[in-house]
Amino acid sequence: MSASDVRVWLIIALITLIVVVFRNFFLFAPRSWQPRGLVQRALRYAPLAALAALIAPQVLADLQAQGQWGMPVLADAKFASALVLIAVIRLSGNPFAGMAAGTLVFVLLRTA
């Protein structure tokens, strides 16, 4: 193993450690450090915001490339499944139910 290989693996290990520490910080932090009020409420919507941030650019880029704007846009499997995913997560508060519903809509429209 060369020095550059060791450096790459060291960077990967450090990034992994940083991600694990920051993601689990509030699980092990003292109660006085726990988020309260507005921050606590905002953290409830983080999964929905992350899903929307990951899905929306690709869906909109696909629609623009196809030139589909208007009512036929609902026939697009990606767009319709993204709408269902966001709606189900927003209404139920359960990201897994949203992913299941979005996947189901995508599969049904893709095979139709």
pLDDT tens per residue across span 71-103: 555 667 888 888 898 899 889 988 889 889 999
For the whole model, what pTM was predicted?
Answer: 0.50
CA pair distance 112, 108, nearest whole angstrom: 6
**Quick one: 44 and 93 in the same domain?**
yes
pLDDT score, position 112:
63
Neighbouring C-beta atoms of residue 102, cutoff 10 Å? 23
d(Cα 81, Cα 51) in Å, to the nearest integer? 12
27 and 41 within one domain: no
Do 25 and 50 have their domain in common?
Answer: no
Residues 20 and 73 in one domain: no
Domain around 89: 37-111
Write out pLDDT tens, residues 9-66. 999 999 999 988 887 887 787 888 777 888 878 877 777 777 778 877 887 777 777 6
> At what angle are helices 77-92 and 95-111 packed, to 10 degrees?
160
Same domain, 44 and 25: no
Residues 86/51, Cβ–Cβ less than 8 Å: yes
Q: What's the rounded Cα separation, in Å, for the pair 46 and 18?
A: 19
